[in-house]
Amino acid sequence: RLGGGAFGDVILGEHLPTGELCALKRVPIRESPPGLDDALPANVISELQCMRMVSGERNVVRLMDHFASGRALVLAMELCERGDLATALGHDFGDEQGDRAASTSRSPLSDACVKSLIHQVLSGVAACHRLGVLHRDVKPGNVLIHASGVLKLADFGLAAAAANARPKAAGATGGTPPPNDTANADANDDDDGLVHHGSYTRGVQTRWYRSPEILFGAAEYSAAIDVWSVGAILGELLSAKGPILRGESDIDQLARTLRAFGTPSETRWPGASALPDYGKISFDVFEPAPRSEVVPESSDRSGAATDLMYRMMVLDPKLRVTAAGALADAWFEAEPAP
């Protein structure tokens, strides 16, 4: 057994057509009520279709095959033998949501190492967005490390396709976007190829990497939620103290987010007060905390990496840099090279 979670177990297998070792994810299919035909659940269809849409991208785990096995769908994926980024960062215990946190401080990472890691994570996320997929659970535990050292974005169990997803060229591995979460999405030709606003499932993302709009119960959101998660990962890479927003509950997560980045206002985040859960709980009015408190014991001597993190973690999702825009940040061109 290689791993697993709420959506299925992952075991080691062999892809018979090629002879390659692979990771087999078995996704159980629940039995339909009496009188109804069995059918693949929408979340299973969505995971398969999203993986097909992005398969072949360098920083996304490759879908090799899929097949039925009893009352389960099995996804055969390329094997990433070196574990995940969470393990590499020293995450070793969990909370009720399955997040794993570093129990002790670790040695600072070099600037070149941080650049390389976050550039690869951003590349995987940007590829998903360019091809019309919102990952919706970007976190270190879902970033796998291939034997070659390349990082691969994985676990599309919460992913959704945008209504204006652009199909791959003929002959490429792909598929029609599933009609699961996108019925009310409006097309927008931004540089990520994704909608700015669409109606999707609420309650996505793992808590410590959850964007403020999701914490406020938004059902309409965009690819910006993934960018927030990457920003949180960048902060974690820069700090020797582990995850920078380690909430113990959803309310605590929101409180920590607002203490770090400030309480929403019509100036800071126009329209925030209209979010479903905005008025359900009141907090003190916070101004953004000092950067040294948000990213404690940072290895970022120039401040350029922290600047990028803040561009990815703007409270207002409309003002957040896109994944493609983040990849073009001057920090990646400055010495030392990644």
Binding residues for ATP: 25
Question: What residue type is assigned to position 177 of the chain?
Answer: P
Contacts of 216 (CB under 8 A, 6+ apart): 254, 272, 275, 276, 277, 278
- SS3 state at 15: strand
- Of 99, 111, 137, 192, the catalytic one is 137
Nearest Cα to Cα of residue 223 among 100, 332, 150, 312: 312
252 flagged as catalytic = no
Q: Which residues participate in the annotated binding site?
A: 25
- SS3 state at 330: helix
Cis? peptide before 336, omega within 30° of 0: yes
What's the CA gap between 27 and 33, in Å, rounded? Answer: 19
Nearest Cα to Cα of residue 134 among 167, 166, 156: 156
- As separate numbers, helices (DSSP H) first and strands (DSSP E) second, the chain gives 9, 13
- Residues designated as active site: 137
